[in-house]
């Protein structure tokens, strides 16, 4: 009983926070997020279908098998998304919303610190391409939990990363860039 009351109190507090911070979603935001999720889920479905068609990679594989699997999947994804281009997932509506969400996070009192965390060991400028392999020598940016909590959740095959100030969608099995958003970090 006590647990239920506590949970309820926390929930109410959270709802209050949502309204107090002005982060409650408008109908058009909800539509934009839903459409974004639909596009990324379609990508994930294609990924799963193609991955199911190649030999399964064991959870305790050796490095040649890992590399072979990764490259084979990357090639399959590329050939099935030949016409893919920047903005297919981050459509103009989604771009605007993501920039707004990120601006909210980074304009807060912790914004400078969060930005510094992301930019740590992060190259400032890099030319990216959809379907290209993640650049081999570039470390992964740290994604602070406070930033991830503001963004729509992704299917397990995909994660958010920053390369410079570009937010990318990374296919972690194929090691390729699904789409990216330029100038995602506010100046």
Partner 1 sequence: MRIRRDLISVLTLAAAIAACATQPTRGPVQVSASPNQAPAPPAAAETPMPNRPDSLKFAILGDFGTGSRAQYETAAEMARVHQRFPFELVITVGDNLYGSQRAPDFVRKFETPYKPLLDAGVKFYASLGNHDAREQVRYNLFNMDGKLYYSFKPSKQSARFYALETTSLDPDQVAWLQKELEAGREDWKMPYFHHPPYSSGERHGSQGAIREVVEPLFLKYNVSVVFSGHDHFYERIKPQQGIVYFVTGGGGQLRTGNIDRGTGLTAKGFDTDRSFMIAEINGDEMYFNAIARTGAVVDSGMITRRK
- Say how far apart CA 98 and CA 95 lie, in whole Å: 5
Q: Any contact of residue 1 with partner 1 (CB under 8 A)?
A: no
**Sequence-ordered list of residues with C-beta below 8 angstroms from that of 44, at least 6 positions apart, any chain:** 155, 157, 158
Contact 181, 90 (CB under 8 A): yes
Among 1, 55, 145, 187, binds partner 1 (CB under 8 A): 145
155: which DSSP letter? -
- Say how far apart CA 68 and CA 58 lie, in whole Å: 12
Site string for partner 1, 74-113 (x = CB under 8 A): ------------------------------------x--x
| 85 vs 112 by CB, closer to partner 1 | 112
- Say how far apart CA 36 and CA 93 lie, in whole Å: 9
Interface with partner 1 (CB under 8 A): 6, 10-11, 13-15, 17-18, 23-25, 29-30, 33-34, 57-64, 66-67, 69-70, 110, 113-114, 117, 120-121, 136-137, 139-146, 148-150, 152-153, 159-161, 170, 172-173, 175
């Amino acid at each position: 009983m006590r647990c239920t009351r506590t949970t309820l109190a926390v929930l109410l507090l959270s709802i209050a926070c949502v309204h107090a911070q002005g982060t409650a979603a408008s109908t058009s935001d909800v539509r934009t997020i839903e459409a974004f999720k639909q596009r990324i889920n379609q990508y994930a479905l294609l990924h799963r279908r193609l991955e199911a068609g190649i030999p399964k990679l064991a959870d305790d594989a050796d490095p040649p098998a890992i590399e072979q699997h990764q490259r084979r999947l990357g090639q399959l994804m590329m050939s099935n998304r030949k016409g893919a281009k920047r903005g297919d997932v981050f459509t103009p509506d989604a771009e605007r919303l993501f920039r707004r969400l990120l601006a909210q996070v980074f304009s807060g009192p912790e914004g400078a610190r969060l930005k510094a965390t992301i930019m740590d060991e992060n190259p400032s400028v890099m030319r990216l391409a959809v379907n290209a392999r993640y650049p081999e020598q570039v470390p992964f940016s740290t994604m602070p939990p406070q930033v991830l909590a503001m963004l729509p959740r992704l299917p397990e095959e995909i994660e958010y990363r920053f390369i410079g100030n570009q937010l990318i969608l990374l296919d972690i099995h194929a090691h390729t860039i699904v789409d990216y958003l330029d100038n995602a970090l506010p100046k």
